[in-house]
Structure formats: C-alpha cells, structure tokens
C-alpha cells in the first residue's frame, strides 16, 4: 500500500509553475525570461541615469532628470516582479470529477461498461450560467476536473485554469489574470513612459551641446543608441499599453477579444468606462484560492485522475487513462471485455473455414488483418452457393452453377474466378 507523506502544497503542485521562498513566490515555467526583461529595462535606463548624473556636474539641472529616470526605472521593475511573482488567480483543481447532474440509463450491459471505462461521458461538456442577465457558456476542464468559472480559461503553458484569464506573457513569465492584471498594466504603461522619457531627454542632451547636433552625435554615441533603442521599444510597449487601455474601457480580456469579438454581440461584463476602470484599479484584489504553504497528505505512487474525451484524438487505451500524469504500469488485463462480449460464442464450423484438403487449418475468430483480407477476397469472388457443397464458387457471374472438383490447392489463392 502506498505510504502517506506530508508535504507542502507547492511541493506536490500539479501545474508547471516554479516556486521560490517556500511557496511564497509563484512563477510560470518560463521564469527565465524575467532576467532578460529586467536587463532590457534596467540596462538602458541605468546607463541614461548615469549619463545625466555626470552631466549634472557641469549643469545642475540634469540631476533632477537623472533622479526621475531612476524612480521610473525602479517603479517599472517593481511592477514587473509584482506581476510575475504572484498567483494570477489559479483555480484549484479537483482530484475527482464532479457527479453528473443527470443520470444515464445504464440498464444496457454495453452502456454500463462504456460509462465505467469513460466516466467523462456522463458529464456535460458545456453548462449555461447567467451573468448580468446574459447566458454564458462555461466549459468542463478535462485536466482540472471542474467547470471553469466565467471568464476563466486553461493555460496550456502553466497547466492551470486561471480566473479572468487574459493571456500568458512570455516577457513576464507568468499568466495574466484576475489578481495581477492591474500590475501588468502598470508595468507596461510605466515602461512606455520610461521609453518616452529617455528618448526625449537624450535628444535634449544632444541639442544642449553647442558644437552642433552632428558633432554632438559623433561624440555622444550613448545618447544616439538610447534614442534608437527607445524609439523601437516604444512601439511595442506603447502599442500594448494602448490596446489594453481599450480592453479595460470595454471590460474585455485579450482572450475574449480574439475569441468572442464582443464588438459583434453584447458584452455581459461591460459596466461603462468609468466603472470598468474602477474595477481594475480601485477594487480590492481577491485573495488567492490556493494556500501554497498549507500541509497536504500525498499518497505515494498514486496517479492523478484526469478525464480525456475518448473520441477527441486517436490515442491508445493506455494514453487515454490519464492525459495529465500518465500511468505507466497499466496492463490491458485491467480492462476486460464486458460481459455481453465475453458471452459470445466463437465456435465456428472449421470445415467451412479451412481450405479443402487441409485437416488442421485454424482461423483466428478475431480475424487478423491478412486473413481477413484473404477471406474478404474469397467472399467477393463467389456469387451463389451449392446446397450440397458449401462455399463452392461459380466460374463467372454469367455462367451456370457447376460443382467444382475438389482440389488439394488452397482455394483462397485461386484468383481465376475473382471479379
């Protein structure tokens, strides 16, 4: 019997997340991209601040410029880490599928066996709920074994269902959802302001030189690099900021905007622009549904149940057992045939199945592929059967029925009478 082990929830977490500080910080599996994002922000910004500080020795008005740039850089990094290192709104998964609301008629032995093998057939794939008077469809998640809340979706990268799922951001290394969307928007908007700030004051630094703009550019290469770098970056972060400003004003997520197109139908979540912004920036952030530091009891070697629709993909029976964790030690004997199939009799007349002249020709009752093709070929070649001699074939469809002399050769290899 499996031994019971006591562990923290983050140690037995079934998602693809990575945890730090004993489960206090949760990141996505691509957390490594956070280092690149930090370098792309802090590197140019700190270089700009150092340059402005050095210029302040000649002109003191550059000191405030350096200070503001440093504050914007620190704020942007803080918002980046607050977005990446917190629970975005993960919905706790179930260990067992919910009980079906409608009972199925399982009086048929075959139906009883099928529902036993595939319990997900009992569970409706979609349910209707009402949000602000509008019907909204919620789907059943085969991995988390639950009906996703409205606006939730399953992230294939983190392998979790996330409340108010917006998207998975590779630059942040985390899903963007209900509990970190506010910080994500503050991150990209601050990055936009920082790019514009560095771009503008780098130009001012060049213009401030009295030897002419071209000579100043040849001598101040760092300012030129910062101008080009910020000009390119602002199109990305600035465009992203503008797009999410539109999404917030209409109370949409990126996923909903690309999937449902609310401009073509009524958005049940739109409360008006003012209330939509209030909901994002001034409403309380709901607490996490997961206590990653909680103590849980884990059964060693106990596979995690999950449900996979048997007709969705062409997978083997072993792969269908557990789509999430997999069960490597399952034999086909664990799933015997149903009683209705086991009771069938396969006592075929061997005289009819074996070739003429052979005494011990055995035909597999389940017909392997090669034998089935040969027997099918023979069945197509015959047109009528003689009452006195079974499976006698006519020479042609148009000719008279004549008995065929017994031959020691295998009639299945005789293709002279084939169509």
Query: What is the enclosing helix (H) or strand (E) of 186?
Result: helix 181-207
Instruction: Retrieve residue 355's tokens.
Output: 């070739």
Tell me the catalytic residues.
Answer: 169
- Cβ-contact 146, 289 below 8 angstroms: no
d(CA 174, CA 24): 15
- Alpha-carbon dihedral of residues 76, 82, 88, 89, nearest 10 degrees? -130
The runs of H, that is alpha helices, within 56-136 are 62-84, 109-117
- Cβ-contact 52, 66 below 8 angstroms: yes
Instruction: Retrieve residue 258's tokens.
Output: 């690309």
Instruction: Mention every residue, 6+ apart, whose C-beta is less than 8 A from residue 144.
Output: 91, 93, 94, 154, 160, 161
Residue 42 φ/ψ, nearest 5 degrees: -75, -35
Query: What is the enclosing helix (H) or strand (E) of 7?
Result: strand 4-8
């Amino acid at each position: 019997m499996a031994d019971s082990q006591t562990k923290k929830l983050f140690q037995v977490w079934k998602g693809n997340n990575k945890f730090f500080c004993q489960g206090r910080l949760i990141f996505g599996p691509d957390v490594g991209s956070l280092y690149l994002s930090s370098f792309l922000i802090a590197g140019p910004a700190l270089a700009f601040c150092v340059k402005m500080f050095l210029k302040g020795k000649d002109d003191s008005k550059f000191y405030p410029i350096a200070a503001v740039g440093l504050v914007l850089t620190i704020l942007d990094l803080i918002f980046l880490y607050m977005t990446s290192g917190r629970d975005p709104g993960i919905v706790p998964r179930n260990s067992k599928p919910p009980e079906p609301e409608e009972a199925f008629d399982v009086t048929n032995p075959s139906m009883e066996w099928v529902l036993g093998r595939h319990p997900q057939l009992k569970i409706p794939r979609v349910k209707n709920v009402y949000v602000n008077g509008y019907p909204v469809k919620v789907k059943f998640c085969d991995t988390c074994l639950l009906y996703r809340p409205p606006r939730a979706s399953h992230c294939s990268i983190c392998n979790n269902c996330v409340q108010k799922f917006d998207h998975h951001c590779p630059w942040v290394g985390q899903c963007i959802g209900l509990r970190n969307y506010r910080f994500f928007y503050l991150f990209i908007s601050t990055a936009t302001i920082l790019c514009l700030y560095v771009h503008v004051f780098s130009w001012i630094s060049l213009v401030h030189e009295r030897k002419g703009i071209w000579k100043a550019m040849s001598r101040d290469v760092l300012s030129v690099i910062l101008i080009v770098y910020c000009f390119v970056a602002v199109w990305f972060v600035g465009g992203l900021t503008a797009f999410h400003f539109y999404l917030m004003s209409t109370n949409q997520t990126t996923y909903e905007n690309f999937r449902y197109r609310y401009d073509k139908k009524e958005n049940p979540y739109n409360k008006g622009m003012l209330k939509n912004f209030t909901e994002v920036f001034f409403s309380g952030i709901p607490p996490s549904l997961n206590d990653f530091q909680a103590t849980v009891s884990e059964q060693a070697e106990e596979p995690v149940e999950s449900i996979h629709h048997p007709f969705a993909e062409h997978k083997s029976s072993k792969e269908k057992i557990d789509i999430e964790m997999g069960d490597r030690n399952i034999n086909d004997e664990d799933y015997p045939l149903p009683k209705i199939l086991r009771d069938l009799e396969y006592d075929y007349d061997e005289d009819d199945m074996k070739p003429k002249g052979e005494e011990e020709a055995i035909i597999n009752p389940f017909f392997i592929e090669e034998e089935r093709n040969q027997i099918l070929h023979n069945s197509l070649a015959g047109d009528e059967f003689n009452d006195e001699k079974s499976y006698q074939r006519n020479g042609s469809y148009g000719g008279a029925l004549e008995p065929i002399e017994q031959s020691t050769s295998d009639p299945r290899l005789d293709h002279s009478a084939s169509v």
